[in-house]
Amino acid sequence: MARRHRIRSRIRKSHFYTFRCLRPKTLDDQGPHVINGPGYTRIVHCNQPHLHLATKLLRYRSNYVSTTRYNMLTFLPKCLYEQFHRVANFYFLVAAILSVFPLSPFNKWSMIAPLVFVVGLSMGKEALEDWRRFMQDVGVNSRKASVHKGNGEFGRRTWKKLRVGDVVRVEKDDFFPADLFLLSSSYEDGICYVETMNLDGETNLKVKRCLDATLSLEKDESFQSFSGTIKCEDPNPNLYTFVGNLECDGQVYPLDPNQILLRDSKLRNTSYIYGVVVFTGHDTKVMQNSTKSPSKRSSIEKTMDYIIYTLFGLLLFVSVISSLGFAVMTKLVMADWWYLRPDKPESLTNPTNPLYAWVVHLITALLLYGYLIPISLYVSIELVKVLQATFINHDLQMYDSESGTPAEARTSNLNEELGQVDTILSDKTGTLTCNQMDFLKCSIAGTSYGVRASEVELAAAKQMEMDLEEQGDDISNLPMTKVGTQRYAKLASKTSSDFELETVITASDEKDQKKTSGIKGFSFEDKRLMDDNWVSSQNSEAAVKQNILMQITNASQMIKIEKDPHAAFALIIDGKTLTYALKDDVKYQFLALAVACASVICCRVSPKQKALVTRLAKEGTGKTTLAIGDGANDVGMIQEAHIGVGISGVEGMQAVMASDFSIAQFRFLERLLVVHGHWCYKRIAQMICYFFYKNIAFGLTLFYFEAFTGFSGQSIFNDSYLLLFNVVLTSLPVISLGVFEQDVPSDVCLQFPALYQQGPKNLFFDWYRILGWMGNGVYASIVIFALNLGIFHVQSFRSDGQTADMNAMGTAMFTCIIWAVNVQIALTMSHFTWIQHVMIWGSIGAWYIFLALYGMLPPKLSGNIFHMLIEVLAPAPIFWLTNLLVIAATTLPYLFHISYQRSVNPLDHHIIQEIKHFRIDLEDERMWKREKSKAREKTKIGFTARVDAKIRQLRVKLHRKHSVLSVISGTSSNDTASNMI
């Protein structure tokens, strides 16, 4: 269907003086570009896309775009590789394979079933996340564009079906479906306005202009006979360059970036444009710039690998001891055991071949003690992280009502890393300023303009007001204290915005102001850099580098010799200087200087430099870094940092799409880190430590029993018990710990920011605490085995004189393990809801229900567990008393440790918990405020440092003012006395 004629806007570019410089001065006069050699092989037949199908060299990529990690063919092999790339999963795969052979001490399904469940669940999570990416791709690829079908008629076609050479028409406020060569626009002189926010983060509109030769292509019917050939550069990631020629009507016209419209940019303030598709799909410049999201792992997960290796070492150690013990028994004692028929020995028990017995038993022992490695650890952590991410997504305190945008955890792998951030690297424009700037005040030639106070001054005044209130009568003898307090209250009030700080404290001595300045700054200066008046010779570049290195050295020395303990320094560096500061032989000196400063400002830097600075901070300090930004130019920085946070502002969604977490406002970063980061770090750390505790407590009992039975390779537990231990009976309580645990409420986290330092200091996942939990597990295993062996082995346990067989003692011992590990996790928790109670005590109840129901099955199915609970153990009082004794004995070390720590060396959250428990914060508000003030750690970094510096400055001014008033008051008193005389 032919489209109706349009009236072209009668506006000429030359009428706008701001655009006059955009038109190339010699565009019509300059000759065509030289297009030859490698990198310039692309040929585009305009309005003739079918010609590209005739030659293999011209069959370019389709316009289909995929950002998924897998497809139907690669999902299974790639995902299986990733799953078994984990050390623990690979071990259990080998164990499952070996379990099908006769040397396994367990039923094969007790090894295969948990592995299939754990790996299957993890693969299902990967499939779900990739499916979401696939649906996003479907939405983009299914967008429709208006394409020339022939004979001057245009029709709708999906983006993914566009081909190189197609002529498309793009309407106002639509995205460009591919990289296009601009033919004409609704304006008479062929200009159009383009928004490149998704490409470079810039919100200002760019002006593009077509060639004069194609201005006449202003209607649909104009393309009925149009043809031409474009020879240009091959696909590349350079957004701001393009080299090509257009051959049309026997003439050759040079092309430059002014005629290129890039995919994902948007047409603005222009009714329509016509263009030819030059690059499609992954050949477009925006896709050439895109990088695969890096695989990020938290520091806790990396440490966890070393813990797994430690447990493997323990597993190998006990397996070697067990196999050596069996070999010795085979060599020295086996011949005396007549019931094994030493006259006709089997190969495994042949006294003449102990080496064979050692090798075979080593494999058996590796399988038997495999429960030292927690098979459900990974899947439990992944499930917990998904639930933690759900809480982040649904936090109303981080919901922006203006834009209707909630916070989003785009990946759940880094939740606990939020609680360990040491360095934050932030974009400024759009991130810190929200793309709007409010005038507060300024000083021009010594004259002050404006009366509004900054956030630093507001916070300083509020803190000083609190300090004055806390001091109370101690400062009552100072003149005008009451009035000063009232004025501080006014300054601290958020409703009072039309005040001037100098109305509270006045100081006119400029020298004194300089002396009390809070933050000192210095910047790099080199005229050869600033004025662009140096040539790029090797000698000059070396001189520039040497000059910058000297400035770094001088600045570092300045910080070292500073005598003021409160002094804080700020470093400012521009992009040109940063180019040399990031050289391999300079960057570490620059990093040392930057770390010593309170704030570092890098101005006018490129996206690549942002990423390089982030990489330097990440690798040079070895500490957790967080990068936050809102534009496409921040993507490299966001992907390079340990944690990337994107702000869904007005600069597009590129930063959000590349981020690990997204928020709508920069102020939400505080809650994301101080509340959710703090909680997630402690939850995951405690969860992992507890996991290793319970598996060591369980796994070592197998070793003790095997040693007690002459290293026979016999398990004391029924195979069904082994299957249920990690997957069912102890999994839900540890998940509740990882999801719902809170050492302090969210409001207290914000009031006591010093609590956050527990994460960067890694107080809850250092090797001291890890080994402590492992030692607790070893102690619990010894107590459980020794008490059960002593009670059930040497005496009857029922009134009729019946003694316990191996199955009865194994069931009693397993019951003690279930009680011990679940009571231990209950003692670990600081915050309880009904969910935790159901999961902990419900897990214990589920064990008794399973034992009763399983024992009711026919003996063919239940085997030696037939009526084990109802008829064998439950009627014996000693069985229940043993449970109580084991619970008391196994929890004693933890109770002693936590009591000693809270009494002698309490942590910050211990003190706050006691204050909250005894409601001291409600009864003594002054003490509560004092504790909050103490919790503010002294720092020379960021907002807090600026507030502290401002407080020191104001206190000096206040002291000076009081001194002046005291002198005046004393003079007035003397005058009055003289008059009276």
Catalytic residue numbers, as ranges: 427
Q: What tokens appear for 378 in the block?
A: 């990974």
CA distances in angstroms from 315 to 380, 435, 695, 717, listed in the order given: 22, 58, 12, 18
Task: Please tell me what DSSP assigns to residue 410.
Answer: S
User: Phi and psi dihedrals of 543, rounded to 5?
Assistant: -65, -40
CA distances in angstroms from 416 to 412, 643, 646, 674, 685, listed in the order given: 9, 11, 18, 12, 8
Q: What tokens appear for 891 in the block?
A: 């929890």
Pairing of strands 408-409, 661-663: antiparallel
Locus of tokens 């405690």 = 686
Distance CA(384)–CA(686), nearest Å, equals: 12
CA-based end-to-end distance of the chain: 111
Give kind and range of the element (H or E) at residue 611. Answer: helix 607-621
Cβ(646)–Cβ(720) below 8 Å: no
Distance CA(583)–CA(711), nearest Å, equals: 62
Task: Please tell me what DSSP assigns to residue 514.
Answer: H
Cβ(679)–Cβ(758) below 8 Å: no
Sheet strands (E) in 186-302: 191-195, 206-209, 228-232, 244-248, 251-255, 260-261, 266-268, 272-279
Distance CA(78)–CA(100), nearest Å, equals: 26
3-state secondary structure of 70: coil
3-state secondary structure of 179: strand
Q: Note every long-range contact of 220-223, with CB atoms under 8 Å and residues 24 or more positions apart, other chains counting.
A: 220/2, 220/3, 220/148, 220/152, 220/153, 220/154, 220/169, 221/2, 221/152, 222/152, 223/47, 223/148, 223/152, 223/167, 223/274
Distance CA(658)–CA(656), nearest Å, equals: 5
In angstroms and rounded to an integer, the radius of gyration of the C-alpha atoms of the chain is 37
Q: Which residues of 762-778 are buried (b: 16+ CB within 10 A; e: fewer)?
A: bbbbeeeebebbbebbe
Q: Give the chain's count of helices (H) and strands (E).
A: 32, 23
Least Cα distance to 760 among 659, 668, 646, 674 occurs for 674
Task: Please tell me what DSSP assigns to residue 334.
Answer: G
Distance CA(854)–CA(863), nearest Å, equals: 10
CB neighbour list of residue 46: distance below 8 Å, 6 or more residues apart: 165, 167, 181, 226, 227, 228, 229, 230, 246, 248, 276
> How many Cβ atoms are within 10 Å of 490's Cβ, its own excluded?
15
3-state secondary structure of 168: strand
3-state secondary structure of 906: coil
> How many Cβ atoms are within 10 Å of 841's Cβ, its own excluded?
14
Pairing of strands 661-663, 643-647: parallel
Pairing of strands 228-232, 42-46: antiparallel
> Taking every pair of C-alpha atoms in the chain, what is the biggest distance, in angstroms?
131
Give kind and range of the element (H or E) at residue 960. Answer: helix 942-980
Sheet strands (E) in 496-641: 519-523, 568-574, 599-603, 625-629
> How many Cβ atoms are within 10 Å of 477's Cβ, its own excluded?
7
Burial of 623 (0-12, 13-18, 19+ CB in 10 A): middle
